[in-house]
Structure 1
Amino acid sequence: MAEELIEIDDELENGEGSEELYERVNIIADKGQEPLRVDKFLMNRVEGATRNKIQQACDNGMVIVNDKPVKSNYKVKAGDRIVVYSNKNPENTQVIPEELPLDIVYEDEDLMIVNKLPGMVVHPGSGNYTGTLVNGLAWYLGDRTTTPVPEPSMPRFGLVHRIDKNTSGLLVVAKSEKAMNDLAKQFFDHTVQRRYMALVWGDFEEDEGTIEAHVGRHQRFRKIMDVYPDGEYGKEAITHYKVLERFNYVTLIECRLETGRTHQIRVHMQHMGHSLFNDDTYNGDRILKGTVFAKYKQFVENCFEIMPRHALHAQTLGFIHPRTRKPIHFESPLPDDFKAVLEKWRRYVSARPLE
C-alpha cells in the first residue's frame, strides 16, 4: 500500500494572510508507485475530488509536482512530491448583500482594488455576519436584495487575500475564477509587491532589517498567533522593514511582506520587542517605552483615543494583471487617524528634549 504524507491547511481567519486562503494537499508518492496520470492519481487520494476539477486545477497552474506546475497528463512516479492548491469555501454559506460605503480605487472586468476602511471586517464569520466588505461587494456587484444568498450562486468575486479588521488599506478582489487563480498563484509565489506602514513601540538600532521566524497558531490561545524562531512549528514567515521616521519612543517603519501569514507583521514586531502602537492583541495598547511623567501618559492616552486601533496600513499593492500581463501598482494614502497620531508625535518630540 502506498505510503503518503497528506497535510491539509485550514486556517481561514482574517489576517494579513494570503497563502492561507488556499487549501494545500501535499502528497509524496511511495517508492513503489507505478507511472500514473496525475489526474487519476489525485482522484484516488483527495476526498471529494473529481477528474474534471483536477484537470481544471492543472490548467490553472494549481497542481505542482516537484516545485513545477504540471498538466493533467503528467505521469506521477516514485518519490514525486505533489502539491494541490484550491479555492476554499467561506466560513459561512450565506451572504446578505448590504449597501455599504466602499472606496473602490480601480475596477475592470477582471478585478477590483478596494481601499478598506479601518474597523471593517473583510469576510463574514463568527460574530460578524453583516457589515463586512464581502456583504458590501455582494450589493455593489448586483445582488441588491436583503435576502441571504447562498455563496455558490455568487461566483462573481473572490478574495485573494485579507487584512485584519483594524488594519486599513488596499485589497485586490478577483471578479472571475481565472483571475482568482492567477492572482492566488502570484501571492503564493511571493511575486506580489505589498508594503505596509506601521507605527511601533521603541527605537531601532539599524535603519533596516529582515525578520525570519515561523508564525503559527498560539499553542494555548488559539485566536492569536505566535512566533517560533527555530521553525519547529508554524510556517515560514519573512518580513523586511525599513525605518522611515524616529520619535524616540515610537518609530514609523515600512514593512515589505515576502510571505503573508496571519498577523505576520503584528506578531513579528512583538517578537522583536516593537509591538504595534495600540495593538490590543499583541501588548501594544499600553506604554512600552517612554517616561514616567503624568503628562507623557496623558499624551499617549490621547493618541490612543485619536487612533483606537493598531497602527498598521496596507499602503502599496503591485502585481501582474491576469489578463494584460502588464505590471500594475496602487498606493493608498494614510488614513486621517494615522496621520493625526504621527503629527502629534512630531510635535511632542520637537517640543521637549529626550529624557
Structure 2
Amino acid sequence: MIIKEADALDDFSAGTDSNDELYQKFVYKTDKGQEPFRIDKYLMNRIEGATRNKIQQAIHNKMVLVDGREVKPNYKLKGIQEIVVFTDMAPEESEIVPENIPLNIAYEDAAVLIVNKVPGMVVHPGSGNPNGTLINAVAYHLQQENAAITEETLPRFGMVHRIDKNTSGLLVLAKTEKAMRSLAKQFFDHTVSRKYIALVWGDLEEDEGTIIAHVGRHLRFRKLFEAYPEGDHGKDAITHYKVLERFGYVTLVQCILETGRTHQIRVHMKYIGHPLFNDDFYGGDKIVKGTVYTKYRQFVENCFALCPRQALHAKTLGFVHPDTNEEVLFDSPLPGDMEAVIEKWRKYTSRA
C-alpha cells in the first residue's frame, strides 16, 4: 500500500506534536518590461519538472495567485507582478504493510477519516518504528472496508498532520487527493480549529494568556525543540491558553493552537516555566513544583505511574469538510490515564 504524506517526516522515534507546514510558498516577480505572457507557460519555464497539465491543475485548484488574486490558466502577465505558488513539500511515499491493530475511529466518510489516537502509538513508520504504527492500522482498516481491494489496488491515503507518539487525541486523514489538498491548505492557512487539554507544572499567574515565541530545533540537541523569543531561529508560533482547574502545584489548561509547530505546546509551556506533567523531553518528568517531603515525592511518583507520558490530549478538531464545504467539529473525551491523574491531584488538593 502507498501512503502519501503531505510533508517530510522527522526520523526520530519520539515523533512530532503537530507540524502543519504542509505547503511551501514560492514567490516569483516579473520584470518591469515583461511582455504579455501566459502564466502557465511562465511557470513552466521556472519550476523544475513541472508540466503544463500540473500547472493548469494547480491554477484550477486556486493554488496560484497573481497579486493576491485567483487567475485562469490563460491569464497573461505583464509589467511588474507578484506570483505566489503553493505546492506540497515533495510528498514522501512509503510502502506500508497493513497490520491488524485496533483503531478508535471517531468518524469516517468517503473523504476523511478521524481517528482518536491512543497514547504510545507512533503515527507513521520511521527510524526505530518500522511497523506497528497508526498508518499500518489504517491500511488494514481500508482493506477490511472493501474486500475487493488488494495489495496492488489499495488507494493512496493522505496524512495532513501528525500528533506525537505520547500525545493522545484526534487526528484527521484524507481519503482522496481532493481532500488532502483541501485539508493541507487549511492547516497551512491556520484555519483548522484545535483545542488541547494539558496538565502542566506550577500555578499559572493569569487565568488566560497568549504565548508568542518562535519554535525551532535546539541548536545542539537535534531531537529537541526550543523557543526563540527574538525570532532569529525557528518559525513563528502562537499558543493561546486558558486555566480550567488549579491544583496548587499543577494546573489543568486548555491550549488553542494558532500555528502548529513541532512540539509547540510542550515547548511553549516550558518556555513560560510550566512544562507538561511527566514530559520527559522538556523537564516535566521530575518534581518541578512542590515540597521536599518524602510523602509528596511518593505521591508524584504514583501520579507519574498513572500517566506514564506527557499529559497532553488533542480534544477537539474542526475544519471545513472537503466535499460538503460545511464546518465540522469533532470532540474526544480525555483518556483514562489523564482522567486518573487529574482526579488524584483533585483529591490531593481537597485534603490539603
TM-score, structure 1 as length reference: 0.88
What residue number does 1:3 align with? none
- Per-residue CA deviation, residues 271-328 of structure 1 (Å, 9 max, x unaligned), is 1111111111111111111111111111111111111110100000111111111221
Separation of aligned partners in 1, 2:7 and 2:179: 22
What residue number does 2:306 align with? 306
What residue number does 1:85 align with? 87
What residue number does 1:124 align with? 125
Residue 223 of structure 1, CA deviation:
1.8
Q: Is the 8 A contact 2:64 2:83 kept in 1?
A: no
What residue number does 2:9 align with? 12
Could you tell me which runs of 5 or more consecutive residues in structure 2 were left unpaired when the two chains were aligned: 1-5
Residue 253 of structure 1, CA deviation:
0.3
- Return closer, same or farther for 1:202/1:130 CA change in 2, 3 Å cut-off: same
Separation of aligned partners in 2, 1:26 and 1:217: 23
1:39 aligns with 2:40: yes
Aligned residues: 338
What residue number does 1:63 align with? 64
* SS of alignment partner, residue 210 of structure 2: strand
- Return closer, same or farther for 1:259/1:68 CA change in 2, 3 Å cut-off: farther
Larger RCO, structures 1/2 (Cα 8 Å, 6+ apart) = 2
- Return closer, same or farther for 1:88/1:306 CA change in 2, 3 Å cut-off: farther
* SS of alignment partner, residue 347 of structure 1: helix
- Return closer, same or farther for 1:104/1:10 CA change in 2, 3 Å cut-off: closer
- Return closer, same or farther for 1:288/1:66 CA change in 2, 3 Å cut-off: farther
Separation of aligned partners in 1, 2:233 and 2:69: 26
Could you tell me which runs of 5 or more consecutive residues in structure 1 were left unpaired when the two chains were aligned: 1-8
Aligned AA (1:84): F
What residue number does 1:263 align with? 263
What residue number does 1:4 align with? none
* SS of alignment partner, residue 215 of structure 1: strand
Separation of aligned partners in 1, 2:74 and 2:154: 31
* SS of alignment partner, residue 266 of structure 1: helix
- Per-residue CA deviation, residues 106-163 of structure 1 (Å, 9 max, x unaligned), is 1111111110010111111111110111111111111899xx969xx75432111110
What residue number does 1:177 align with? 177
Separation of aligned partners in 2, 1:80 and 1:281: 43
Separation of aligned partners in 2, 1:93 and 1:105: 25
Separation of aligned partners in 2, 1:48 and 1:255: 41
Aligned AA (1:223): K
Separation of aligned partners in 1, 2:274 and 2:58: 41
Separation of aligned partners in 2, 1:74 and 1:131: 49
1:321 aligns with 2:321: yes
Residue 244 of structure 1, CA deviation:
0.2
Aligned AA (1:288): V
Q: Is the 8 A contact 2:198 2:253 kept in 1?
A: yes
Q: Is the 8 A contact 2:198 2:254 kept in 1?
A: yes
Q: Is the 8 A contact 2:194 2:257 kept in 1?
A: yes
Q: Is the 8 A contact 1:94 1:149 kept in 2?
A: no
Separation of aligned partners in 1, 2:94 and 2:233: 31
- Return closer, same or farther for 1:70/1:202 CA change in 2, 3 Å cut-off: farther
* SS of alignment partner, residue 143 of structure 2: coil
Separation of aligned partners in 2, 1:102 and 1:72: 43
- Return closer, same or farther for 1:225/1:101 CA change in 2, 3 Å cut-off: same
Q: Is the 8 A contact 1:211 1:240 kept in 2?
A: yes
- Return closer, same or farther for 1:38/1:298 CA change in 2, 3 Å cut-off: farther
* SS of alignment partner, residue 115 of structure 2: strand
Q: Is the 8 A contact 1:60 1:182 kept in 2?
A: no
Instruction: Give the alignment's Cα RMSD to 1 decimal.
Output: 2.3
- Return closer, same or farther for 1:244/1:33 CA change in 2, 3 Å cut-off: farther
Q: Is the 8 A contact 1:11 1:20 kept in 2?
A: no
Separation of aligned partners in 1, 2:200 and 2:95: 38
* SS of alignment partner, residue 330 of structure 1: strand
